[in-house]
Every structure is written in C-alpha cells, then in structure tokens.
Structure 1
Amino acid sequence: MRENTEATVHQVPYYAQWESPELVPDILAGTLQAADDPRWEQSGAPSPEEYAYWSWRICGMACLRMALDHWWGVAPPAVTLAEEARAAGAYVRHPDGRLDGLVYAPFAEYARERWGLAAEVRSPLPAEELPALVAAGRLVMISVHPSIRTLDPHPPRQGGHLVLAVGATPQELVIHNPSGFPDDSQRFVPVPWDELPRFYAGRGIVLGPHERA
C-alpha cells in the first residue's frame, strides 16, 4: 500500500500520561488507583486527587511533552501544561467534573503562542499523508481508539485518544502511545498500515519546530 514510503523514525523522548509508565497496566486494570502513583508530585498537580483527575485525560499533554523535549529539550510537568491549556480554551472543565477536550484549535494556538511550535489542525488527515509529514520532520498527534495499545481486532469506535506519530516505514506507522503498556506498546510502537484504519479517526494536529522568540 505504501511501497514508496522511505523509513523515517525520529528519536523522540517518551512520556506516559501517568508519571510512572511501568504502572500503567495496574492503573488501567484498576488494581492501583492513579492517586497512589508514587511519582504523582512530578506532574505539577497540587494533590494526588487532582493528579488522578487529570492523568486519565492528558494524553495530549503527554504528546506535547514529547514534542517539546524533542525540539526544545524541555518537558514541563503534565498537569502544569494541562492547566495552561485549559486557560487557553483547549480544555473546558465543568462543575460536575466533566472535561471537554482536547479542543484542537485553541490547543494549536496555545502550542504556537506559548511554545513556539508550528501547529496545524488537520481534519480530515488521511493516513496516506502521514509518511510525508514525518519524512518532512514533523510529529503528528493523531486521534485513535485507546485499544490500539493491544491492536484490538474489534475496537468499539475510532478516536478518543491521542498518540504521537514519530515514524513511518513501508510496513507501518510508528507511534509513542501515552497509555501503552511498558515493553510492549509505549515507545516506538509499530502499527501496520492495514490495521491503523480501524483505530484512526482521520484527524490530528501536525507539529513542527519554529524558532522561539
């Protein structure tokens, strides 16, 4: 399908959306509460409860941390980024605890204004365009179903979770998954092109470096 794709994999640092990547299976299984993550304070949250609230919702901030570390060598705390993004309109937190977001357009503006990144919202963003974007030095936040971590043969829908496309080969897209499993589906995860469509919602945010002011 993509025989002409040249292999490009950017050496991007990895961050999970929880501070302890090795505990992600236990947190997802419910055998460990997110508030009991021993590294919760590193997130910038004021309390374990606030950390737990955000940790399930900040796949986008984990992707942003990866991009910032890759290009600028900085990785601000995840909840600190989330609160900044919320203030910029990229999240809407309701009194009953519901959270709307990540809202792409205000997030892209925040990434440009706050962090000096090129950030372009693309909807639709055909999978066929991802190899060229990666080859051009871009990283792409794409919306997939979270069960991409196990390549579930029957995900209930597409989208709902953000991962970072860091590479592409003729056989597969290479992603960093903020909610992947350690030693399996977190870092440099190959997703075969013929399996991607059942997870991929066909939209995302293309990130690149701009000179910082």
Structure 2
Amino acid sequence: MAARAGPRAAVIPPYFGQWESAQRIGEILAGTLRAEDDPLWPRSGAAGAADYARWAEHLCGVACLRMALAARGVVPPRAFDLAREITTRGGYVVHPDGAIRGLIYAPAVAWLREVPRMAAEVRVDVAAHDVPAFVAGGGLFIASVHPFIRWPDRDPPSRGGHLVLVFGAQDGALRLHNPSGDTAASQRDARLAVADFARFFAGRGILLPG
C-alpha cells in the first residue's frame, strides 16, 4: 500500500510591502522619511508622489493580494494598478472628505474569482486555532489583525485594522508576511504562536484554499 502523503510544506511567497521601499518602511512609520520621498514610489503606478503618500498606508490588502498572486505563479499587477481595479469594483471607497475605506473583502474575492480565476472566499467568525488548517496543503489566508502585530511583545488596543498574509504553520506557530513590518524580521516569514496571533486577530479574512 502506498504511503499517504502528508501536508505540503509551506512555500514562502514573494514579499511585497505596502510601500515600495520595503527596507525603509520602518523609517516611514517612524516619520523620519516621508512616504512621498520614498525613492521607489514611481514603480508603484501611482499618479504622483502625493497620490502615493495618500494611498500607500491603505494598501496592506493590495500587498497581500499581490503576494497571493505571486505565490500562485501569477505575475501581480503594480500596486496602484491593482488598487484602481479593485476600487472600480467597490473594494475601496473614497469618501467625499477624502477618507479611504478598504480593503473590502467581497469585491476583492469577486476579483480573485473572475480575473486570475482563483478559488477564494470571505471567512468570518474564525478562531485563531482554525487558521493552521486553512493554510495546510498550500492554502493562503489574508487575515485581519491589529498593526501592532509587528511588535508581538506589545498588547494591541484592539483587533483588526490591518491585513497580513498567513501562508504556513509550523511547530505551533503561524508563518506570515506583514506588508507593514518595520524590520526585515517582522516583514518576511514572521512566526507567531497561535495564542499570540489571537491577541491581534479580528476573526475574519480572505481564504484562498490550497
């Protein structure tokens, strides 16, 4: 009898930050580098430096979608090209006062299903201990967490408000890419015990099954 194959090992997706100069995200978050002075902003597809600065802090979801596409072997659009496409579908809403709301899950899932033709679904009321099963066998989960997840030793004031890409689980820890990590260690393949992840996790996100 053939041996039963075990779960596939997690493949580390390419990393994209929500600002183009990933190595300088810490400076941008600290206020020592203005987003409009990011030297790599032109490759984002933004209309200009001010447009880039206004939108980039809202593009954690776009960064996660780009990483998910790349993990599936699809060349992702530029960040602002994808943001514009998702906005036309209602995935971002720009209010009259200029405030930007999003990423809104349902339109993003519809785009995933219709354009790159990937299986995707909105998941809510998810417990942190359910997430390892989501990412077993090559699944990806774009999870709503508090931005403080870049500092696991701190207690967040709330849950949610930011998106990260969870792509694996190992030895009781989740493996994730954080588009707004302020160091290389908090950006790429960051590992967080499930119990610690739960402190930041809002219980919802987008699942791309394996």
Please indicate the TM-score interval, normalised by the length of the shorter structure: over 0.9
2:94 counterpart of 1:76: no
2:27 counterpart of 1:26: yes
Q: Is contact 1:7-1:169 (8 Å) kept?
A: no
Could you list the runs of 5+ residues in structure 1 that have no partner in the other structure?
A: 1-5
Q: Is contact 1:8-1:168 (8 Å) kept?
A: no
Cα shift at 1:73: 3.4
Q: CA separation of 1:83/1:152 partners in 2, compared to 1, >3 Å: closer, same or farther?
A: farther
- 1:27-53, Cα deviation, whole Å (9 max, x unpaired): 001111101000101101110011111
CA distance in 1, matches of 2:130, 2:155: 25
> Counterpart in 1 of 2:135?
134
Cα shift at 1:152: 4.0
Q: Is contact 1:143-1:204 (8 Å) kept?
A: yes
Q: How does 1:95-174 map to 2 (within 5 A)?
A: 95-174=96-175
> Counterpart in 2 of 1:46?
47
Cα shift at 1:205: 0.4
What is the one-letter code of the residue matched to 1:205?
A: I
Q: Is contact 2:129-2:194 (8 Å) kept?
A: no
TM-score by length of 2: 0.93
CA distance in 2, matches of 1:183, 1:96: 35
> Counterpart in 2 of 1:13?
14
Cα shift at 1:95: 2.3
Could you list the runs of 5+ residues in structure 2 that have no partner in the other structure?
A: 1-6
- 1:148-186, Cα deviation, whole Å (9 max, x unpaired): 001143211001000000110132111000000232200
Partner of 1:118: helix, strand, or coil?
A: coil
Partner of 1:106: helix, strand, or coil?
A: helix
CA distance in 2, matches of 1:155, 1:8: 31
Q: Is contact 1:8-1:169 (8 Å) kept?
A: no
> Counterpart in 1 of 2:179?
178
CA distance in 2, matches of 1:7, 1:136: 5
CA distance in 1, matches of 2:156, 2:8: 28
CA distance in 1, matches of 2:182, 2:141: 21
Instruction: Answer with 140-149 or 64-73: which moved more.
Output: 64-73
Q: How does 1:54-69 map to 2 (within 5 A)?
A: 54-69=55-70
Cα shift at 1:208: 4.1
> Counterpart in 2 of 1:91?
92
Partner of 2:120: helix, strand, or coil?
A: strand
Cα shift at 1:118: 1.1
Q: Is contact 1:35-1:51 (8 Å) kept?
A: yes
CA distance in 2, matches of 1:150, 1:188: 14
> Counterpart in 1 of 2:192?
191
Paired-residue identity, %? 48
CA distance in 2, matches of 1:68, 1:58: 15
Q: Is contact 2:138-2:168 (8 Å) kept?
A: no
RMSD value over aligned CA atoms?
Answer: 1.6
CA distance in 1, matches of 2:155, 2:127: 21
Cα shift at 1:121: 0.2
Q: CA separation of 1:198/1:70 partners in 2, compared to 1, >3 Å: closer, same or farther?
A: same
Q: Is contact 1:104-1:205 (8 Å) kept?
A: yes
